[in-house]
């Protein structure tokens, strides 16, 4: 056992932390008050700086133009980036593009890679992943209603999707649709590339979330696919393999999210400690840091963050070493542990800020409201707990326990 | 002991529930997407309906034009109104006007009542209460920095306030300012009426809260008082009595808030149960209502709401019967119990809605983000717990316990 | 609404509190170190004092020799008695005798009343209630395996029971056994009186609980019924009505338990506050009472106890006024709320006592270990939550919620 | 980063698990019903088996006759041993002897080592550590009242200790006493070896804990030192260094405890899963494992145990690599995290067992009651949280956080 982080990654993480502090956090007041599209020019500048620092696309394969970090390494990078909502976007390892790159890299044809993967890795285009449906419980892929029917050399797609993150401004979507309705439940759907300019791809609205419609990358689209036709060659991988491919994508994707959430924890924790040290609560100059309740929150948060962090790095290490499939218990655990840890730490940090915590004068209110979703997407807490428990309980069958 | 609610109030509560369902809840989608000022015309219509139903200003004294309900009675009314964010405003018992009416009624001169109380009760003007300062911990009135210095027959007010709720659009503020800096800590400040059109009353901004500046009644102002001059006759009550008067106002005010939060609980609980019954999670038609985790949330929420409700009614009954001062333990308890119950119930209801809960397609995201403040204002959880515990622990001194 | 307690009950409760303090708490060190049977002589003396004070059997009907208190009234009495583990026994309103008295009173024949009820109310004999079986989940009466088969004018009982509280030293058991195996699930079992001296009634052992076998009244028996024959006239009520009669008994029985647990809360809370005030933690004489963590526990415990108390009194009031059947939601709520509140308050009190809390030098370790059972018997938390939630969710079907 | 466990330790842990299952767990029913001293002969046999397997004294230095495992390695061993209350004793790495061996090894003179260390490592004698006093808050060493006054070539010790674990049957105590009352607070006390047969060493009683006095190794002594005289040569290390030496001892000692608690977690978790799989709750054969509440407990327990385990191994790795002093934040965290995790997991396992969980028919009731102390000894939760938070908050002073 060795908990040491390599010198290489330590240096990279230090560089990123400094960059986030100097270049990104100062942009947050604008981020909180303007449309995201208004920030695009300045973010483009920051992205150029990142490219010059050779820190672009840290998790993408080297052959695609990324840094090719392992999952443990990218986890540590992702934690540093997650400290600001702008981090992943500027370093170009943001969801859902990161996952789409993986899919295109693993399953794309040469032509698909040339057309979509290359410009995507370079940051010239953006993409979205169109799976979730209004009436589809996240936990049950069998209930997908969007269909892609073959007509001649085309798929004709019909369906109603929502929560297609970042659809607004994307050049293409990877759409999950039923192509083989007669197949067994988990082999009915396929992934298909749909350019967003295709007729029949209708972005109905950006769903208002916590009072904000958002725009461009920071948005969640509701999309009506109405006889939307794309060539058969837009199929990704093999027909009916959509869920298998999605599953492969989700394991590492959950590590990305968890480490990003740990970055949020880290930022919120810093703000909490800073506020506690500076908020005077009595005329003799005593601060909130002297209150045992605040001390309890600091201690508990520190312990919970460390627990969540070690678990996530452990899960990443498992994926790196034995593959996502054997790491699935570890992945299920971190999905609910880290999301809840993050929500709790942000809640405490907000409380320590009092009225200020409710305002947009800090980033905490944004984290509190928007990152509440962490306990829901990519499998709600309840879904992961049940799936994990069933596997565990099954493993005890036939064992003789005293 | 008798837990029966009188027939009179039962009927009133039924009428209000029906009104909220039919007239106010349908306005919520507009409320969530438009500026509040755009809703004023339609809300004015609803207010006229309320007046015709003779349910206007339920908690205001009869002689002021209100219904003169007792605190227990108004608590039950407030619970029904709290089910929509528009309830209290339309029935004209909203904070901070409700509290200001009390102050004017109890401490105002005849002239003050004629000028400010009368039109305020009639709904012709609005008001705000300007106490909180950026560097003043809510728990420590001694640290007030705003001053009102006598010059001739005027007070000259200087200071920096924030979280002056509903300042935008108000005709006057009741300002808490230090008039007697040499007096003992709790006798330094006074309440002074400041018309918002007075030169030197500068509404710097509506503070952005959870991503929203808000406007008109739904806003929290940051105000700079810069040599703001008002006649000495604008003093409310006696000089140096500001905190005593504020304290009197806070007891019943906390009942109002708690019962409003119980209305939010009730609404969130309804939505949770409805969603659980309707959300299908498997192809055989099973709903979320069949999941034991959801059942646990329903059962726990039902129990916690009932507990919070009985405690709040008990505290109101104590105030009605023995006065706010003797009821202060009960008031401290409900302040943190009900706020936390409400936050928990809303959180569970949101989780049961999954992705939908994050959107503005239900009222839950609004409750989740904006009502997070309940654990902060009017004394944060921590402040009430400490104050309550100290009184309790003191009461044990000298007791012989085995 | 009126939360006032009548003067009559206030006086009774004061008398009981004083008696518990002066006569029973001083006996606890003996109670914790000796066999219960060794205490019987001194407890008999105390019982004579109670009879002289005319506070004997407070909840039993007047015509049986009790005080005939309403459930709300007895609740308040039970709270005072619950402060010591000896309270209910000495005032003769202990489980399971209290429930058995109710059953005999409501369903017994004149002969049964003469033989069993009369001496039981007078405290001349004790009884037990033999329902729970090793493999019977408390929540599922259908799975009862003990049978009572008619042979001639006798029932022949065979079965294996455990957790038959207070069997050791009892003169008779009320046994639940299947008499009508062909009937619908809830109509298969009957209650039968079995004198413990009957051949075939074999008390195998007193089950060791938390390291203690216990004895006499403070014990839980494991009983093997082996061809145990009693006359048909020992049937209580009608055949097949066992569960219905048990259900009737459980509602008020849960109130008794909950109020007893509130007495435990009260005692633990007193000890916690006393210890906090007296435990010096620094050379300058500061006590634990100055620590905010302890203050939080005091405040939270005070609030939780008040909540649990109001809910329990409310449920008792409902039973008194509309019957146990209509009060079942309220009863389900208090069963899990009060049990958990009690376990939490005792846990906090123990923690405030540090190492001392683990010892038998206070009553807390006894409460901590033995009263852990509260979350299990008479329906585990989980069973009540699920049952309650299902009724609630059903009540929402067909409702139009927005 | 590498989470792999070495093959050597994997094999050792497997051997130990098997030994615990086959040789120790079958002794538990006796352990729960008899005096510990009655088990000594059979335990002596098991210890001989351990010696033959060359697994004796795993954490003691090789030169003392132990296996010389690193802290990470011993942590993994300790986890396996902790599954039974008999594990550490039989493998001879039990507290407080393990700590006393360390002290004697690091600070003992050659004569002290010959007389006490050698037979102690060989298992020929036992020892105790006599620090805690009735009125001394664990967190404040300054408040020690036991004194050791030099008279000629002797120390004369007077004082009142309690919670001197395993004093009953020990051959010597290491006593913490004030030798230098004029020195700064942390330099007043010294450690002195006191043979238990010394006149003036009076074991007043074994403190009854959770209803049990215990005996021999499983006991906690109350000791009155009354003019107890020992030669000056019994001083351990240097005068006034008692606290420094105790502090050194506590870091690794907490790892030992935490890993032992993780063994308890592991055992309780196994029992919970086994019971869930086997407890039938409905006539159609459904088991508790199908209930989502139980599934939640399984999933949450699995995650919490993994978190606690990784944190503890991380802390052990830190001590192994940078020393206990630099690892103190990690040690503070695990002290409260692991103790609470263990208490929660045991509580859930007990609840899943229903009435059976309260009995001594499983080991759970023993864990539930006796291991409650984990949140108290070696620094209560509250003490560690406050100490940790203060260090963290201090580290933020002067930092510029945005």
Cβ neighbours of C293 in A, within 8 Å:
292-293, 296
Q: How far apart are CA A304 and CA D126, in angstroms?
A: 38
Task: Label residue C373 by pLDDT band (50, 70, 90).
Answer: very high
Contacts of B292 in chain D (CB under 8 A): 291-293
Q: CB of B291 within 8 Å of any CB in chain D?
A: yes
Q: Which of A282, A286, A288, A292 to mutate to test the interface with C (most CBs of C within 10 A)?
A: A292
Q: What is the DSSP string of B158-181?
A: EEEEEEEET-TT-SEEEEEEES-T
**Chain C CB within 8 Å of residue D42 CB:** no
Residue B115 falls inside a structural domain = no
pLDDT over threshold 90, residue D72: yes
Mutation target vs A (from B280, B287, B369, B383; most A CBs, 10 A cutoff): B369
Structure tokens at A143: 């209930």
Reduced to 3 DSSP states, what percent helix, strand and coil does chain B have, rounded to the nearest 5? 55, 15, 30
Q: DSSP class of residue B362?
A: S
Say which of A211, A212, A358 has its CB closest to residue B373. A358
Asked whether residue A31 falls in the same domain as residue A135, the answer is: no
CB contact under 8 A, D311 and A314: no
pLDDT at A64: 84
Arithmetic mean of pLDDT, C197-215: 97
Specify the DSSP class assigned to residue D188.
Answer: S
**Tens digit of each residue's pLDDT (9 = 90 or more) over B168-216:** 999 999 999 999 999 998 899 999 999 999 999 999 999 999 999 999 9
DSSP letter (8 states) at residue D215: B
Same domain, D19 and D161: no
What CATH number did the domain enclosing D77 receive?
A: 1.10.540.10
SS3 B201: strand
Residues B179 and B200: their CA atoms lie apart, in Å, by: 18
Task: Tell me the sheet residues that pair with A236.
Answer: A191
pLDDT, mean of residues C77-94: 97
User: B222-245: string of b/e by CB count within 10 Å (b at 16+)?
Assistant: bbebeebbbeeebbbbebbbbbeb
Q: Is A398 helix (H, G, I), strand (E, B) or coil?
A: coil
Structural domain tally of chain A? Answer: 3
B215: β partners: B218
Count of residues making up chain C: 402
Ranking A331-340, C303-312, D43-52, D239-248 by mean pLDDT, the lowest is D239-248
- CB within 8 Å: C293 and A293: yes
Nearest to B102 by CA among B55, B68, B72: B68
Banded pLDDT at D224 (limits 50, 70, 90): very high
CB contact under 8 A, D211 and C32: yes
Does residue D263 contact residue D80 with C-beta atoms inside 8 Å?
Answer: yes
CB–CB contact A280 B137 (8 Å): yes
Count Cα atoms within 13 angstroms, Cβ side, for B53: 20
* CATH number assigned to the domain comprising residue A333: 1.20.140.10
User: What is the rounded CA–CA span in Å between residue B275 and residue C266?
Assistant: 40
Find how far residue C89's CA is from the centre of its chain. Answer: 11
pLDDT of residue A251: 79
Distance CA A257, CA A251 (A): 10
Residue-wise pLDDT tens digits, C321-364: 999 889 999 999 999 999 999 999 999 999 999 999 999 999 99
DSSP characters for B235-258? EESSTT-HHHHHHHHHHHHHHHHH
Q: Examine the domain organization and report whether C82 and C150 are in the same domain.
A: no
Domain final position from B236, B256, B288: B236
pLDDT band for position D185 (cuts 50, 70, 90) = confident
User: DSSP string of D44-111?
Assistant: HHHHHHHHHTT-SSTTS-GGGTS----HHHHHHHHHHHTTSTTHHHHHT--TTHHHHHHHHHHH--HH
pLDDT digit string, tens, across residues B225-245: 999 999 999 999 999 999 999
Cβ count near A90 (within 10 Å)? 26
Q: Which of A298, B390, C277, C298 is nearest to D386 (CA)?
A: A298
Do residue A327 and residue A205 come from a single domain? no
Residues C369 and C258 placed together within one structural domain of the fold: yes
pLDDT at A134 over 90: no
**A50 and A173 part of one domain:** no
Q: How confident is the model at residue D173 (pLDDT cuts 50, 70, 90)?
A: very high
Tokens 């002897």 sit on residue: D97
**Is residue B286 in a domain?**
yes
User: What is the model's pLDDT at position B318?
Assistant: 96
d(CA C173, CA C99): 12
> Are both C284 and C382 inside the same structural domain?
yes
Q: How far is A184 from chain D (nearest CA, A)?
A: 25
The residue behind tokens 């002991």 is B1
Preceding peptide of C96 cis, ω within 30°: yes
Name all chains with 3 or more CB-CB pairs below 8 Å to chain B.
A, C, D
Contact check, Cβ <8 Å, B293/D291: no
Residue of D nearest to C284 (CA): D143
- Whether residue B108 lies inside any domain: the answer is no
Yes or no, beta carbons of B333 and C1 under 8 Å apart? no
Distance CA B332, CA B390 (A): 12
C136 DSSP 8-state letter: -
C248 with C383, same domain: the answer is yes
Dump pLDDT digits (tens) for A267-289: 999 999 999 999 999 889 999 99
Instruction: Return mean pLDDT, chain A.
Output: 95
Residues 6+ apart with CB under 8 A from C272: C297, C298, C301, C345, C348, C349, C352, C353
A201 min Cα distance to partner chain C (Å): 31
Measure the CA–CA gap between B211 and A369, rounded to whole angstroms: 9
Min Cα–Cα distance to chain A from B95, Å? 17
Query: What is the pTM (predicted TM-score) of this model?
Result: 0.97
Residues D359, D317 share a domain: yes
* Parallel, antiparallel or unpaired: strands B189-195 and C154-165: unpaired
* Percentage of the residues of chain A whose pLDDT score is greater than 70: 99
Spell out where D131-251 has E strands.
Answer: 147-151, 154-165, 172-178, 189-195, 201-206, 220-231, 235-236
Whether B139 and chain A come into contact, CB under 8 Å, resolves to: yes
pLDDT at C137 over 80: no
Candidates C286, C287, C292: best to mutate against A (most CBs of A within 10 A) is: C292
pLDDT score of D137 more than 80: no
Q: Choose among C270, C298, C402: nearest Cβ to B25.
A: C402
In Å, what is the CA distance from D188 to each residue of D173, D182, D239, D244?
A: 19, 7, 8, 11
Yes or no, beta carbons of D1 and A313 under 8 Å apart: yes
Q: Is there a contact between C298 and B274 if contact means CB atoms under 8 Å apart? A: no
Residue of D nearest to B296 (CA): D293
Q: Choose one of B236, B264, B285: the last residue of a domain.
A: B236
CATH number for the domain spanning A183: value is 2.40.110.10
Tens-digit pLDDT profile for residues C10-58? 999 999 999 999 999 999 999 999 999 999 999 999 999 999 999 999 9
Contact C211 D210 (CB under 8 A): yes
**Contact in structure between D384 and D251 (CB atoms under 8 Å):** no
Sheet strands (E) in C118-243:
127-130, 147-151, 154-165, 172-178, 189-195, 201-206, 214-215, 218-231, 235-236
D250 and D390 both lie in a single domain: yes
Q: Compute the distance between CA of residue C206 and CA of residue D273 in angstroms, rounded to an integer.
A: 28
| Domain-embedded: residue A2 | no
Distance from CA of B318 to the nearest CA of C (A): 9
A296 and C CB contact within 8 Å: yes
pLDDT digits (tens, 9 = 90+) for A203-213: 999 999 999 99
In a domain, A159, yes or no: yes
Residue D119 lies in a domain: no
Residues 6+ apart with CB under 8 A from C148: C155, C156, C157, C175, C177, C178, C179, C190, C192
Q: What is the pLDDT of residues B260-305, one digit of tens each?
A: 999 999 999 999 999 999 999 988 999 999 999 999 999 999 999 9
The pLDDT of residue C126 is 98
pLDDT band, residue C250 (cuts 50/70/90): confident
Contact A355 B376 (CB under 8 A): yes
Chain C residue with minimum CA distance to A292: C292
The alpha carbon of A247 is separated from its chain's Cα centroid by a whole number of angstroms, namely 15
- Among candidates B196, B238, B242, which has minimal Cα distance to B221? B196
| Percentage of chain C exceeding pLDDT 70 | 99
C-D CB pairs within 8 A amount to 133
As a whole number of angstroms, the distance between CA D295 and CA B303 comes to 23
Task: Evaluate the CA torsion angle D123, D129, D134, D138 in order and state its sign.
Answer: negative
Tokens at D313, concatenated: 């191994």
D 339-398 residues with CB < 8 A to C: 350-351, 354-361, 365-366, 368-369, 372-373, 375-377, 380-382, 385
Structure confidence at residue C138 as a pLDDT band (50, 70, 90):
low
- What are A42's two structure tokens? 């300045």
At residue C185, the pLDDT reads 87
Report CB contact under 8 Å: B298, C392.
yes
* pLDDT level of residue D139 (50, 70, 90 thresholds): low
Q: How many CA atoms lie within 13 A of C363 on its CB side?
A: 27
In a domain, A401, yes or no: no
Quote the pLDDT of residue B160.
96
Distances in whole angstroms, Cα of residue A118 to Cα of each of A66, B283, C72 = 11, 40, 76
Which value does ipTM take for this structure? 0.96
D144: CB partners within 8 A, 6+ apart: D133, D136, D176, D177, D178, D188, D189
Q: Which of residues 218-247 of B touch A (CB under 8 A)?
A: none
Two structure tokens written together for B103: 């102050």
Inter-residue contact D123 to D247 (CB < 8 Å): no
Question: CA of D373: which chain C residue's CA is closest?
Answer: C358
Q: Is residue A119 part of a domain?
A: no
Indicate the DSSP class of residue B280. Answer: B
Domain match, B285 and B346 both:
yes
Q: Which residues of A touch B209 (CB under 8 A)?
A: 358-360, 365
Q: Does C311 touch chain B (CB under 8 A)?
A: yes
Mean pLDDT of all residues in A309-315: 97
Neighbours of C263 (CB within 10 A): 25
Q: Is C282 on the interface with A (CB under 8 A)?
A: no
Helix (H, G, I), strand (E, B) or coil at C396: coil
Q: Chain C contact for A293, CB < 8 A?
A: yes
Closest by Cα among A202, A165, A174, A223 to A36: A165
Which residues constitute the domain of residue B209? 127-236
pLDDT for D141: 67
Whether C138 and C279 share a structural domain: no
Q: Is D280's pLDDT higher than 80?
A: yes
């Amino acid at each position: 056992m060795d908990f040491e982080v390599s010198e290489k990654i330590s240096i990279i993480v230090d560089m990123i932390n400094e960059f986030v502090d100097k270049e990104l956090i100062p942009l947050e007041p604008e981020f909180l008050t303007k449309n995201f599209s208004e920030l695009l020019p300045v973010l483009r500048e920051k992205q150029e700086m990142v490219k010059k620092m050779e820190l672009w696309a840290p998790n993408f394969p080297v052959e695609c133009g990324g840094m090719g970090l392992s999952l443990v390494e990218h986890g540590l990078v992702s934690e540093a980036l997650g400290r600001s909502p702008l981090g992943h976007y500027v370093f170009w390892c943001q969801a859902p593009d990161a996952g789409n790159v993986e899919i295109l890299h693993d399953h794309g044809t040469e032509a698909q890679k040339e057309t979509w993967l290359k410009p995507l890795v370079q940051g010239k285009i953006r993409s979205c992943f169109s799976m979730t449906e209004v009436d589809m419980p996240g936990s049950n892929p069998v209930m997908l209603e969007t269909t892609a029917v073959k007509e001649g050399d085309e798929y004709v797609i019909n369906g109603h999707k929502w929560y297609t993150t970042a659809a607004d401004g994307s050049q293409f979507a990877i759409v999950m649709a039923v192509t083989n309705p007669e197949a067994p439940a988990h082999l009915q759907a396929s992934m298909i590339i749909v350019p967003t300019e295709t007729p029949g791809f209708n972005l109905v609205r950006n769903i208002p979330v916590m009072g904000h419609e958002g725009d461009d990358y920071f948005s969640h689209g509701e999309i009506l696919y109405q006889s939307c036709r794309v060539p058969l060659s837009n199929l990704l991988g093999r027909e009916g393999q959509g869920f298998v491919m999605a599953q492969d994508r989700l394991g590492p994707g959950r590590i990305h999210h968890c480490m990003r959430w740990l970055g949020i924890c880290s930022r919120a924790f810093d703000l909490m400690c800073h506020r506690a040290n500076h908020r005077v609560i009595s005329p003799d100059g005593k601060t909130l840091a002297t209150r045992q309740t605040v001390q309890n929150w600091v201690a508990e948060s520190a312990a919970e963050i460390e627990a969540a962090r070690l678990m996530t790095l452990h899960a990443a290490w498992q994926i790196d070493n034995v593959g996502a499939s054997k790491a699935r218990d570890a992945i299920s655990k971190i999905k609910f542990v880290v999301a809840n840890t993050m929500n709790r730490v942000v809640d405490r940090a907000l409380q320590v800020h009092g009225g200020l915590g409710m305002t947009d004068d800090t980033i905490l209110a944004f984290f509190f409201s928007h990152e509440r979703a962490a306990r829901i997407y990519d499998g709600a807490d309840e879904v992961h707990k049940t799936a994990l428990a069933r596997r565990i309980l099954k493993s005890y069958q036939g064992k003789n326990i005293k």
